Structure 1
Amino acid sequence: MCGFVAFVGCEGFRPSSPVISNMLSVISHRGPDDEGTYFSDHVAFGFRRLSILDVTPAGKQPMHSHEGNCTIVFNGEIYNYLELRKELSARGHRFVSDGDTEILLHAYLEWGDECVGRLNGMWAFLIHDRARQRIFGARDRFGMKPLYICEVPEGVLFASEIKSIRASGQYREALDMQVCARFFYESRLDDTQATFYKGIRSIPAACCFEVNTQGRVRTWAYWQLPVNNRVPADPAATFAELFDQSVEIHMRSDVPLGVNLSGGLDSTAILCAIARHRTEQDVSMPIKAFSFQSAEYDESRYIAATLAQTGAQQHILSLGPHELWDSLSRVLWHQDEPVHSITAVVGFHLSALAARHGVKVILNGQGADETLAGYPSYFRDYWYSLLASGSVATALKEINAFVLAHGGSQSRLFAQLIKHCIQTQLGRSARYRKMARRRHLHQFEQNDWFDPQLAHALPETTDFEHAMLDAVLARAVQKDPLPLYLRVEDRNAMAHSVETRLPFLDPRLVKLAFCLPEKWKMRGSWNKFILREAQRDKIPEIVRSRPDKMGFPTPFSRWLRVELYQFVRDIIEDTTFSQAGPFRVESIRRDLERHRNGEIDISGKLFDVIQFHLWQQLDPMTPPKTPASLYG
């Protein structure tokens, strides 16, 4: 896990050392252990190293091939590097390091562009192939590791974080108003390659690309989510075996690792699997588990059961609303763009907690909800799939089982489902979508929080979105919300020089998940049914059979009425608030008071407006200071 930058000049332009130095200076947190640069004619690479595998100088980057034709910068981890090393050695390759960077470089030398299909891991990398006179690069299948690109008159800029491109001196600052409008009106973040900065975009996940000597960029997909594959005879047993294998290779590290532990199914499964593997390896040192707990959302009994089974050593994050709010600007500086909620700030401090306890690698449960159907909204999608396939009786039976466990009215849920079916079928018509979009745009123009001109930046048309469960899950993985959560996860961890690993996004597990019938994801009152069955007798039963879901929630709505009210009010009253954004202060002030009085709940909407204002004030070259009171 590291960070890198690159400048590929065109039309004879040669990048200078000061440009690369400026770009590197703002991502030193991504790699505090070493720095390296590479200059060759029109190509310049810069690298910051966080040593995880092979912490010796042999793993230094940029790394060159033995014959000197290829140079690589690589951010991420190749978990199956030992298996690839064995295969490459049998083909005559010789290695001087024990890490995965050299394995990746030799994989490219052996298999060319096809090397990425053999990798199991998370990655973003660039290779300067002097023999073929090109830059070749790729991102992992799900976009766990970031990579941004910006084409400027002098060439093409690449960076692990947006702030490096902004610090280059080559980029002309400009907001992408369509991205801003989609954020304010539709709460959209990271569901396209566009960023809040016009002209800066992310390289798509599961894609390779090349840049030729003229600076032309060509991108192509090397992988896609599988469909219609053969279902194993015993799906639960197969999933359990693959999951254990995934956790085992995600544990490969030359530095201490830990787990972010909530009381939920995903992090519990990871921690229990680690404990089993460590028992087999006769490792007695307890695993470190990091948790955030609030009185309003008490998960202590679930966590206690997991700690008792694994013997893990828990470290609890205890920060109140004032401390979290005081660090919001610093979180936004590291994130480069707005975030989805105050929960992102909790994640930032969990990474800080891990770093303070000497942990450089954290295993986390990200990706399970999107691939295995973990969100409550997926129940409706499952019922819709049953109804659309003609299984009306089964849909009613499943709704009844849900009501018995979670409460509610079967008739009301079924009526809502019928309405959803009708709306989905109408949505197949381009004419209907256009009419609905016009109606929504008119409603957006009437929103008195914003200048009506902002709504004009929104796209006038929308694509049809399939509502079958598997299609919804595919959209969740590829567009919304997983790309956003991966961005937040990466920046929060790397802000503290910590690497996050995500066992549920092992491609073998994801392939199996998308091969399974929907009944293995949702069944009766249960979401993530396959995971629950796979973890039978492996995790505490109180967690395995838990029907609700929390994660790391905060009572932000109440905080906004009480503890944080004056902080927010002061920001709104500041003259820069109305001057810097498309906001109508009187309307926002009015609704803040209504929220304070309990008449309405605008906590999410107001958080978006306030964080956008704070984010706009940030200087990419200078991170805000962390209040000394936070960490004593």
Structure 2
Amino acid sequence: MCGIVGMFRLAAGQPVDQQLLAAMNQAQFHRGPDEGDQFIDERIGLGHRRLSIIDLAAGQQPMKDESGRFVLIFNGEIYNFPALREELQALGHHFHTRCDTEVILRGHMQWGDACVERLQGMFAYALWDAQEQRLFLARDRLGIKPLFYTTIGDTFYFASELKSLKLLPGLDKTMSPKAIEQYFTLGYIAEPDTIFHSVAKLPPAETLVLSVAAPTPVQATYWRLSFKQQLTLTDEQFQQQLVQELNSAIASHLVTEVPLGSFLSGGVDSSAVVALIAGMSDQPVKTCSIGFDVAAYDETAYAQQVAERYHTQHDSRIVKADDYELIPKLAHFYDEPYADSSALATYRVCELARSKVTVCMSGDGADELLGGYRRYKLLMAEQQVRDRVPAWLRQTVFKPLGKLYPKLDWAPRVLRAKTTFQSLAMDLVEGYLHGISLLKQHQRDALFSDDFKQQLGGYNSLELFRRYEAEFDGDEPLALLQYIDLKTYLVGDILTKVDRASMANSLEVRVPFLDHKFVEWCAKVPTSQKLRAGEGKYVLKKAMEPYLPNDILYRPKMGFRVPLAEWFRGALKQQVNTRLQSELMQQSGLFNMQTIALWLKEHQSGQSDHSTALWTLLMFENFLSQAA
């Protein structure tokens, strides 16, 4: 796992700024503390930081071919590189290393840009062709590894993290209104946007090409997930195939020359990964988990149960539920506003894992692929109502109910029907966005200043979801929501969280559920196998019954939760009051400060629970304070 940076002078007569390139590379030192180097030519500068995983003695980057025509920098892992290497050797290529980097380099020499379609793994890389004066960038199919880029004058820049581009003289750091609206709706900024209107993320499964002859960047999609074809199998056959496909993905992810372990939260997904790894290894699996000193948030007993069953070398650590000292650091780790509070726990578990191993396996992706989130169950129940009740009648009945029904934060969940009534008046996609929004539309209307609303010009994050709705080629409502999540939530929230938290600790995290071949298989699995009788991830749980006990498979999902409501009424009360009403927040011109004051008063008096909104604002203020 590594970090890459680069600059491409599109106009003649401007030498590469070696000092700037070195500073950009150094800003990503944490992504690759083992080695670092640069390649500089008349128009191109490429930098690389290396976390050595395969072929420790060789494999240094930037990597050139013998002629010096091609130069490659690469961040990630290619899991099918042994097979590609054999194929290339049969075609006459001679290798000087045992690493996957050289396979990409020689693959491009053999197959050109189409090489990216053959790669199985997680990656972001840049290939310079000195003869054609041409730069080629590519990002993996699911967006596991990040890539940011911008153009300033006649120079194109790119980097693994935004913090490297922040160093650029002349970078326009004007915030994007669209990005701010996305952040307060979703809790993250979705691809291809960034917080700065002048910087973009290369979306998953896309390439970008530019050259001296054609200096305007051209992007292309090389892979698109299809839900059109659905398998017709028995329950038993689906379960057997799932184990086969997942075993194949996990086996390919085990190649390494450094210590490897696995996260073990005690949930279904990480426990399934550990169980299958244990069946392939003649050595005990190294596992790690963290828990909290508040029982309601602690899953370590379940993790210990799996560890004992598979005789893993297990390490568990308890952290305080008031582990909020990391809050200021998150703005530095993530570069952009980022509101998923579980990033605190993710950082701690990565910190623990890095003390034992260099590579760690994760269960991320299973919920999106196999219908594991509770919201899928709720939305499918709502969709049954939509299918039976005409839209005009739903708007006539449920829209007024949504306005009139009180917001009962204190009540049992069954009585908190306001969001459901509001959602039922909408179609599936709009209702889904409404249901998952951190701040609902009426909250954002109350929060944003009149000036900022004018800047938005009517933009709403629903446009983002509509774009992916138009791309979707399947027929099932659940599959549509999964596709939207794969394009937005998975890459913008989950994978961003894991990449930044792990790389901050110089840890490589591999996600076998997101092997693209397994993803393609899951897209062919019908809804009836993913969600049945209110049970999400049905086929995965049934397939894992021989491997895991029922209290692991069928207990309610917990996840990493943080006691925000308690923090803002207790230890963080003064801090959140001060920071959310600071001069910095007032001068931003983005907010109705009276709304913020009201939310603080209502929350701290116990009248309402505004913890999600307050956390989202606090993380935005942390971003502003570091950007100032």
Name the TM-score, length of structure 1 as normaliser.
0.86
Q: Distance in 2 between matches of 1:232 and 1:426?
A: 27
1:45 aligns with 2:54: no
SS in 2 for 1:303: helix
8 Å contact 1:384–1:468 — kept in the other structure?
no
Q: Distance in 1 between matches of 2:457 and 2:592?
A: 23
Q: Distance in 1 between matches of 2:312 and 2:444?
A: 53
Give 1:593's aligned residue.
Answer: 601
CA shift in 2, pair 1:167/1:593, >3 Å: same
SS in 2 for 1:198: coil
Alignment of 1:501-520 (within 5 A): 501-520=510-529
Deviates more, 1:332-341 or 1:145-154: 332-341
Give 2:193's aligned residue.
Answer: 194
SS in 1 for 2:295: coil
Give 1:9's aligned residue.
Answer: 9
Give 1:299's aligned residue.
Answer: 299
8 Å contact 2:584–2:625 — kept in the other structure?
no
1:452 aligns with 2:443: no
8 Å contact 1:557–1:603 — kept in the other structure?
yes
1:29 aligns with 2:20: no
Cα deviation code 1:111-147 (max 9, x no counterpart): 1111112111000000001233311121000110000
Return the letter of the residue paired with 1:54. D
8 Å contact 2:300–2:316 — kept in the other structure?
no
Give 2:210's aligned residue.
Answer: 211
8 Å contact 2:76–2:121 — kept in the other structure?
yes
Return the letter of the residue paired with 1:532. K
SS in 1 for 2:132: coil
Q: Distance in 1 between matches of 2:93 and 2:48?
A: 25
Return the letter of the residue paired with 1:543. I
CA shift in 2, pair 1:550/1:127, >3 Å: same
8 Å contact 2:449–2:589 — kept in the other structure?
no
Unaligned runs of 5+ in 2: 390-411, 434-439, 470-475
Give 1:396's aligned residue.
Answer: none
Give 2:94's aligned residue.
Answer: 94
1:250 aligns with 2:253: yes
1:570 aligns with 2:573: no
Cα deviation code 1:248-278 (max 9, x no counterpart): 1112111112222212111111111111111
Give 1:394's aligned residue.
Answer: none
SS in 2 for 1:258: strand
Shift of residue 584, structure 1, vs aligned partner: 4.5
CA shift in 2, pair 1:16/1:301, >3 Å: closer
Q: Distance in 1 between matches of 2:490 and 2:614?
A: 20
Shift of residue 427, structure 1, vs aligned partner: 7.1
8 Å contact 1:321–1:563 — kept in the other structure?
no
- How much is the aligned-residue C-alpha RMSD, in angstroms? 2.9
8 Å contact 1:477–1:483 — kept in the other structure?
no
Q: Distance in 1 between matches of 2:387 and 2:277?
A: 40
Q: Distance in 1 between matches of 2:444 and 2:40?
A: 51
Q: Distance in 1 between matches of 2:388 and 2:598?
A: 49
Give 1:468's aligned residue.
Answer: 477
Shift of residue 385, structure 1, vs aligned partner: 6.2
Give 2:401's aligned residue.
Answer: none
Shift of residue 227, structure 1, vs aligned partner: 2.5
Q: Distance in 2 between matches of 1:215 and 1:269?
A: 48
Q: Distance in 1 between matches of 2:27 and 2:301?
A: 42
Give 2:273's aligned residue.
Answer: 270
Q: Distance in 1 between matches of 2:224 and 2:530?
A: 20
Give 2:349's aligned residue.
Answer: 350
Alignment of 1:373-522 (within 5 A): 373-383=371-381, 423-424=426-427, 443=442, 447=446, 449-460=447-458, 462-463=462-463, 465=466, 468-522=477-531
Give 1:400's aligned residue.
Answer: none
Shift of residue 578, structure 1, vs aligned partner: 2.8
Give 2:362's aligned residue.
Answer: 364
SS in 1 for 2:481: helix
Return the letter of the residue paired with 1:268. S
Give 1:397's aligned residue.
Answer: none
Give 1:402's aligned residue.
Answer: none
Q: Distance in 1 between matches of 2:103 and 2:68?
A: 16
Give 1:333's aligned residue.
Answer: 332
Q: Distance in 1 between matches of 2:386 and 2:444?
A: 35
Return the letter of the residue paired with 1:169. P
CA shift in 2, pair 1:444/1:268, >3 Å: closer
Shift of residue 238, structure 1, vs aligned partner: 0.8
Give 1:240's aligned residue.
Answer: 243
8 Å contact 1:385–1:469 — kept in the other structure?
no
Return the letter of the residue paired with 1:31. G
Cα deviation code 1:540-592 (max 9, x no counterpart): 2321222x111111222122212221222332454444335634545423422
Cα deviation code 1:452-480 (max 9, x no counterpart): 22222335255474581111100000123
SS in 2 for 1:116: helix
CA shift in 2, pair 1:182/1:619, >3 Å: closer
CA shift in 2, pair 1:334/1:446, >3 Å: closer
8 Å contact 1:289–1:312 — kept in the other structure?
no
8 Å contact 2:183–2:338 — kept in the other structure?
no
Return the letter of the residue paired with 2:373. Y
SS in 1 for 2:297: coil
Alignment of 1:81-230 (within 5 A): 81-184=81-184, 186-213=185-212, 214-229=214-229
Q: 2:611 aligns with which of 584, 603, 609?
A: 603
Unaligned runs of 5+ in 1: 392-406, 434-439, 621-632
Shift of residue 606, structure 1, vs aligned partner: 0.6
8 Å contact 2:37–2:49 — kept in the other structure?
yes
Cα deviation code 1:428-453 (max 9, x no counterpart): 9xxxx9xxxxxx97x46751x44222
Shift of residue 229, structure 1, vs aligned partner: 2.6
Q: Distance in 2 between matches of 1:509 and 1:216?
A: 35
Q: 2:558 aligns with which of 550, 568, 574?
A: 550
8 Å contact 1:207–1:222 — kept in the other structure?
yes
1:75 aligns with 2:84: no
Q: Distance in 1 between matches of 2:52 and 2:257?
A: 8
Return the letter of the residue paired with 1:48. R
SS in 2 for 1:318: strand
Q: 1:616 aligns with which of 600, 613, 624?
A: 624
Name the TM-score, length of structure 2 as normaliser.
0.86
Deviates more, 1:534-543 or 1:449-458: 449-458
Q: Distance in 1 between matches of 2:458 and 2:319?
A: 43
CA shift in 2, pair 1:418/1:295, >3 Å: closer
Q: Distance in 2 between matches of 1:588 and 1:79?
A: 49
SS in 1 for 2:224: coil
Shift of residue 409, structure 1, vs aligned partner: 7.7
8 Å contact 2:340–2:493 — kept in the other structure?
no
Alignment of 1:577-588 (within 5 A): 577-580=585-588, 582-588=590-596
Give aligned pairs, total: 583
8 Å contact 2:291–2:298 — kept in the other structure?
no
Q: Distance in 1 between matches of 2:248 and 2:215?
A: 42
8 Å contact 1:292–1:317 — kept in the other structure?
yes
CA shift in 2, pair 1:417/1:587, >3 Å: closer
Q: Distance in 2 between matches of 1:386 and 1:515?
A: 22
Give 2:394's aligned residue.
Answer: none
8 Å contact 1:259–1:362 — kept in the other structure?
yes
SS in 2 for 1:315: strand
Deviates more, 1:24-33 or 1:312-321: 312-321
8 Å contact 1:146–1:160 — kept in the other structure?
yes
Deviates more, 1:590-599 or 1:4-13: 590-599
Give 1:404's aligned residue.
Answer: none
CA shift in 2, pair 1:163/1:272, >3 Å: same
Shift of residue 108, structure 1, vs aligned partner: 1.2
CA shift in 2, pair 1:351/1:446, >3 Å: closer
8 Å contact 2:362–2:512 — kept in the other structure?
yes
Q: Distance in 1 between matches of 2:568 and 2:338?
A: 17
